[in-house]
Structures are given as C-alpha cells and as structure tokens.
Structure 1
Amino acid sequence: MMKHFDFFKLLHLFVISFILGSCGPASNVNRFAPLTTVNTAESLKKPYVILISLDGFRHDYVNTYNPPHLSSFIQEGSQAASLIPSFPTKTFPNHYTIATGMYPDNHGLLANSYYNYEKKKTYSIGNRETVVDGSFYNGTPLWVNANSEGMVTASYFFVGTEADIQGVHPTYYYNYDGKATNQERVDQAIKWLEMPEQTRPHLITLYFSDMDDTGHRYGPNSKEKLKEALFKLDSTLGNLFSRVDNTGLPVNIVITSDHGMAEQSIEKLISTEPLINDALYNMIDNGVILNIHPHTSAETDKIFNKLKKLENKFTVYKTKDTPHFEYVPKNKNWGPIQVIPDHGYYFSSSKSIERRKTGNQEVFGVHGFTPALKDMHGILYAKGPAINAGGRLPSVKNIHVYPMICKILGLSVPSNVDGKLSYLRDMLRE
C-alpha cells in the first residue's frame, strides 16, 4: 500500500505540473540552464518591456490609413522611418534577428526553410519537430538573456519561444495556435502584468499576424481590405495601450514588424519544376532564393554550369557572389549555389501557379526580396518612460533593436551580437 507521504508528494508534483503548462511557467526539462521563475532583487527594480511583432506590417501603412491608436502612439513616442529586414526578408529569420540582434548568417535560422548539414535535416516552419528543437537556434534571444540574469519573462507567441534554446523557454509561454484571438493575447498580457511583482514578467512578447494574412491574400494595394484589417488590429492595440497605462507600471512598448509586402503578379511566377534534379542535388525553395545543395561537393561546378544554361528570368550565383545580402554569406547551410529571380519575379511550384490561375487571382502579396526594396521594410515604434517622446530616426536595420531593449531592461549585450545601441540611442531618454 502507498505511503501517505508518497501520495501527497505525488499529488503536489501533479499540481505543480498542471500549473506549469504552456500558459504557465515553462515545464520543459532545461538541459543547460535553470529556469527563472522568481525575479531577483535586482530585476525587481527594472522597468518592463512589451515587444510586439505585427507580422507583414509595411512601413507606410500608418501614414496611408491613419489608424487612430497607432497614430497617437507614434505621436507620443518615437519611430524610425522604417525597419530594414535582413535578406531573405522572410518571417522566421527576421523575427529571430529582432530577438537576437544577429544576422541570419550568424544566428543560423537562414530562412523559413533551410538545410542543416550538421543535423542532416531540413528545418521548416511547417515541421513542428524542427520548430521546437532549440539546437537549430544560435545566439541568445532576449528571453534567454533575461532568464540568465534572473528576470522573469513571458511570450504569447514569438519565433523561437517554443524551442528550448540553450535549454530554456520564456518563463511563461504558449505554443503557437493561430486560432488564439488577438483579444486573448491582450488579456493574457495584462494578466501577466497584474501578477505579484516577484513572479511578474519584465519582458513580454506578443505576435499578431493580421496584416501579413491580409497582405498575402489580397496584395498590399488592396486598400479596402487592408484598411479593414488594420483598423480592427488598431482597435485591439488601443485596448492594450489603455489597459497597460491603467496598471501604473513603468511599461515600455516596442512595436516592430519582420518585413513589408509587395504585390506579385501571377504572370511573373517562375515554375521551379525545370530546376529540380534530385539525382544531383537537393533544392530548398524560399520563393526569392533557391538554395542548391549538391549530393557531392565535387559536382558543384558541374551543377553550377548546368543551371547557368537554364537561366530565364533568373540568375545562378556561387553563394559568395549572391546579391542582396548585407554581408558575404559564409554559413555552410546556404549551400554553395543560389538561384535568384529577376526583379518582379518569384519562384513557385507549377501546382501552386495553376491553383492561383484557376481561382482567377491576378495578384497577391509576397515578401522575401532584397532589403533595398522599400516595400520590404517594416516598422519600429516605441513609447514608454524610457522612450524619448517625439524621437524621429531614419530607417534602421532590425539587428539594432536587440541592444536597445537590453538597455531598457538593464541586461548585458552578448559580445557576438551584430546590432549596435548607437543606431537607436536617440530613441531613448537620457
């Protein structure tokens, strides 16, 4: 018969496990570092940051449509003319660049899909197994940095928070579920701020996909649809702003987006099928760039020459010579050969092209193109007690957001970060 001591011990462990679910403190076994569940005395003295990502929110949407709450937020706070993403201007690599202050070449999340030679596996945002595997993610994202310095953190979605990076998640986090309403996300953020100060998160991340969803479906020039989605999102954000103010806490809100959006004509889609050659190489398609991975390195020049002969509205490059990067790409996982579509063109499967034509869809929205294209630029707005009211900065790269948030929270900045505080120092109060 079980002893009473053992029974109550097991019952206690069950209750703790239930509380520490995906909406409570992270319950995954931490392989490298302990999880911070109580703020240190030093962290209790520090302010709060809510980092918001508005996926696919182009730099010019606010000026074009004048949503009241965001417009007021910007007027009372600071903004950059635009936030410049890294190439390829895709969702996962640029969210993780914002989270780590590192270029994709360094943090390792090269694109929405990429091949990892060390693991002999393809990472894909649609593959749950890879998304939650922290070993795919290099760098020290904000929540991991804060955790290491004794600060409680929380996330209602942000790229990387579902993975056990360096063995930890945010203290409180949710696994991504697109069915979670915007209001549920806002309500939870406020609940976190209403927690006792010992367990209250000082860093909260939130994610909203509305503008990306609408932009992809209708294209960024569909003014009626975009305005409808924007004003609905703006109302939700207005609710968040008001309720944050009502807490009386020193909360700084930083609003970013991962990329902008460009209109894409179906007539300028390039079928990838003629470029497939499974006998010689694997090909990873990210729309604006095809990564070519030869089965044997000795075949690289042969493959390069074969692909060059097929050039038609695209150009084949050795990786070191590939345009659009802010640096010479050195990460092995790019593969030795890249294929880039001409301006205005985009790679797609024949099946996808036919489906769009059948649906009588002439244009839609895409991103991923060179950061030199202004349509790819996102947003950076901020407001709070640490933010310089009325600050207006030129366009700035998204690598610089990380050290700014570290400065607000009093966190040290890892030495391998590519971003520099100096680019956003004028956004902060003295």
Structure 2
Amino acid sequence: MNRIAAALALGLASLVGGCATYADAPVANAPAEQRDPVTILVSIDGFASDYLARGLTPTLSRLAAEGASAPMRPSFPTKTFPNHWTLVTGLVPDHHGIIANRMEDEARPDEPFTMATVDPYWWNEAKPIWVEAEEAGIRSAAMFWPGSAVPWGGTAVRYGPVTDGEMASDWQAFSMQVSNTQRVNSVLDWLRRPADIRPAFVTLYFDTVDSAGHDGGPESAEVDQALRDIDTHIADLVAGLAKLGQPANLVIVSDHGMAATGSDKMVVLADIVDPSLYRLVEGGAYATFEPTDGNTEALEKDLLRDHAHMECWRKDEIPARYQYGTHRRIPPYFCLPDTGWTISATAPDAAWSGGNHGYDPFAPEMASLFIANGPAFRDGVTLESFQNTTIAPLLRHLVGLPQVSRADGKLADVSQALVGED
C-alpha cells in the first residue's frame, strides 16, 4: 500500500510539474536560509604562539591575517585544566578552584582531583559560559572541552539525566579514540540541525599538538606533523561552515605553550631536602609540598633558601604577578624552576628529552595562541599581548551575554579587534 501511495503521489507531482515553468518547479531554487553567526571557540592544546611562524599552518595564518591575532598570556600555573577553565569562566585558577591538573582538598582527603574527575564538587566555584548561555536561552554544544561533562551546581557525582541548564545541550565526554576528523564532523553535524535545536555557541578541543610537544619537544618533527594535521582540520571546519552557508565567529586559542626539557635540566629534591620532611603533592614543571607531622620548621629551612634553577615560597608569599596562592587547594609550599627545568624527587634512571609546560606564564615559551576571525572582527588586526582571562568576556560579547564585574579579564583588551567597537 505504501508503494502504491508513493507511485500515485509521484504521478500527481509529474502532472502538476508539467504545468509549471522550469524556474519555479525545483525546490532547490527556494531561498537559502539566512543563518545568524555561530560562535565557535576552538582550543588547540599546547599550540605555542610562535608555532604560527613556522609556515606549516596556512589556514590558521590566513585566518589570523584576515582577522585578529595576538600572542596570549596564559594564567598560572600554565597547565591544561586550570587554563581551559579560565578560558570559559574569565577567572584565574586561584579564583575558580581548578588550581592544577592534579590537586587535593581537605574535604575529600582520599579523592584527589585528576583530569578524569567529573565530580561537580571540584568544579562548582565558577560557572562556565555554556551554562550561562543555556540559562539565557542560547543553545550551546561542547566537543571535549575540559569540564563540559560536569553538571553545574552540584556537590556530588550525578547518575542519570541532568536537568536543563546544568550543562550544554550537547556535549561529548573526552576520548582520545575519537579522531580530529570525527570531532570536526560532529561540530558540523550539530550545525546541520534545524534552527530550533541548532547551537549558537560551540566549543571544539584538539589535544594532538600538545601530545606531540610532550613526546618530542617543541622543535620536533612530531610537532611539525601535528601542526600540519591540525591546520588541515581547521580548513575542513572552515570549508564545512561555508558549505552550510553558516557564518561563524571563530575564536581559536591554546591553553599554553611548550618548553624543551630533558634529563640535563633537572632539580633533584633528594639533593636539597630530606625526603622525610615532606609529602610531594605534585612535581614536574613546578612542585608543591605538604610538610610531614612536626617538620614544618625543618622543611622551611631546607626549602626556602637559595637554590640553583629554582625558587620556593610559602603559598601566601608567591609573587603577586602570578595571581596565585590564596585558594585552599594550593598546598603550603610551592617551588617554580627555571623555564624548561624539571623538579623531581629523585634523579632519573636514564637520559630523556621532550617538552613540558606549567612554567612562568610570562616566559616566551609559554605564550599561547589567539586568532579571531568572522563577521564580528576587523581584518588584519595585531593586538598587544593580553591575558587569557579576556576570552570569556569576548565570548560573552559575541553570544549576547552581559558582561560581569566578577571576571578577572576585560573586553577592553580586545575591543580594537571588534567591528563597531572603539
């Protein structure tokens, strides 16, 4: 019966079509949908600002030349999770609570935070922009952004569905098994939807440049290959948007740069301080310590003296320029090595080399990427360096959310790049 009905419908359409002119018969000649610009925040983890000058990323270089760009200063510490949360909240890590990739909290003594943690308890001190957008009726979608799989406002892990406004309308939990091509295609698929369920704000995250930088170091062939690959995928995104007729304001950033490091640049704690005096909370590009019982004075005597290639402070004496040291999750003692050096409890067993980050955000090696391109941006604008706390105010401007006084960044830092702004 369905086949008969379809045949009758087709025959009727043929008869009607015979009475029409060629110009008005095809549906394809209907006016194209006039789409409003979508705002897409793209993070290329570990993309150092100076990577753009290598000549390996023609799409990114074109977007920069035809839009706005700047070397952007990350927030401290220059780690992935703290800076990704800064980018979407406008607050420095000391204020939003994600103060490290690994951290501890007195209220959860046996449950340290790691990059796999989605318990809302750790994240609920600062509201991400996709939640504020959803609350304002602006549909959002997040592809792998750190924290996007966490329901906003809770104090414990959720099981089962969340209510409207707690998360982006669409999101995907991070998996390294999902290729960069699949990530781009997922974003484009979201934008193919009917207008009533199509996101107006989207985040997209790539991790492969960072992984290559850690493995081979910033000057490696691995990084060069990762840069070429990422540029191809940005080109695919741009082409896909054009095919959809979807105007977009692209804000392309990274969370930090990358510094060369290796076994020839090590600060070995065993040579400096008695290991019985402390518990190492985190080591590497910086180190944090808890004193063992009754050993605070002895630890301070060893730790808070002059060291080659490393400075150490009590948490409340960390230099003000780092905007770090007041949050309860920061351990009592903090040591920062020279950029490119590694703090380790013991000496390495074998020679090694690679790349790392977490260092002084004012170090040139830590400078991150900023490119903005789209109808909201002027052409050919090169900005002075600014801190990444400015990105959230910029996103608020683009999606139509009001600015907020609590943010650590300000829109004025990038206003000269915006059409219609002074």
Matched, 1:266 2:263: yes
CA shift in 2, pair 1:273/1:166, >3 Å: farther
The structure with the largest alpha-carbon Rg is 2
Q: How does 1:289-368 map to 2 (within 5 A)?
A: 289-294=286-291, 300-308=296-304, 311=307, 313-323=309-319, 325-327=321-323, 329-348=325-344, 350=346, 353-354=348-349, 357=351, 361=352, 363-368=353-358
Please name the residue that 1:57 is paired with: 47
CA distance, structure 2, for counterparts of residue 276 and residue 125 of structure 1: 27
CA contact (8 A) 1:140 1:414 kept: no
Q: Deviations over 1:68-125 (max 9, x none)?
A: 2112111221111x11001111111011111111000000100111221233355433
Matched, 1:219 2:217: yes
CA contact (8 A) 2:93 2:324 kept: no
Matched, 1:283 2:270: no
More moved, 395-404 vs 209-218: 209-218
Q: Deviations over 1:149-195 (max 9, x none)?
A: 11211111011101122252211111110110001011110110011
More moved, 273-282 vs 117-126: 273-282
Please name the residue that 2:194 is paired with: 196
CA distance, structure 1, for counterparts of residue 306 and residue 384 of structure 2: 41
CA distance, structure 2, for counterparts of residue 206 and residue 118 of structure 1: 33
CA shift in 2, pair 1:328/1:170, >3 Å: closer
CA distance, structure 2, for counterparts of residue 68 and residue 334 of structure 1: 41
CA shift in 2, pair 1:114/1:241, >3 Å: same
How far off is 1:299 after superposition? Answer: 5.3
Matched, 1:68 2:58: yes
CA contact (8 A) 1:190 1:243 kept: yes
CA distance, structure 2, for counterparts of residue 347 and residue 324 of structure 1: 22
CA distance, structure 2, for counterparts of residue 181 and residue 336 of structure 1: 40
How far off is 1:49 after superposition? Answer: 0.8
Please name the residue that 2:139 is paired with: 152
How far off is 1:321 after superposition? Answer: 2.1
Give the partner amino acid of 1:148: E
Give the partner amino acid of 2:122: F
Matched, 1:178 2:176: yes
* Unaligned runs of at least 5 residues, structure 2: 1-33, 155-165
CA distance, structure 2, for counterparts of residue 124 and residue 271 of structure 1: 25
Please name the residue that 2:24 is paired with: none
CA contact (8 A) 2:259 2:356 kept: yes
CA shift in 2, pair 1:267/1:294, >3 Å: same
- 1:132 corresponds, among 114, 118, 127, to 118
How far off is 1:211 after superposition? Answer: 1.1
How far off is 1:427 after superposition? Answer: 1.9
CA shift in 2, pair 1:273/1:191, >3 Å: farther
Please name the residue that 1:101 is paired with: 90
Q: How many aligned positions are there?
A: 375
* Unaligned runs of at least 5 residues, structure 1: 1-43
CA distance, structure 2, for counterparts of residue 347 and residue 88 of structure 1: 15
CA distance, structure 1, for counterparts of residue 137 and residue 274 of structure 2: 51
CA shift in 2, pair 1:250/1:309, >3 Å: closer
Please name the residue that 1:40 is paired with: none
Give the partner amino acid of 2:237: L
More moved, 54-63 vs 66-75: 66-75
How far off is 1:341 after superposition? Answer: 2.4
Please name the residue that 1:33 is paired with: none
How far off is 1:54 after superposition? Answer: 0.2
Give the partner amino acid of 1:402: A
How far off is 1:253 after superposition? Answer: 0.9
Is the partner of 2:182 in helix, strand or coil? helix
CA shift in 2, pair 1:123/1:95, >3 Å: farther
TM (normalized to structure 1)? 0.81
CA distance, structure 1, for counterparts of residue 331 and residue 256 of structure 2: 24
Please name the residue that 1:20 is paired with: none
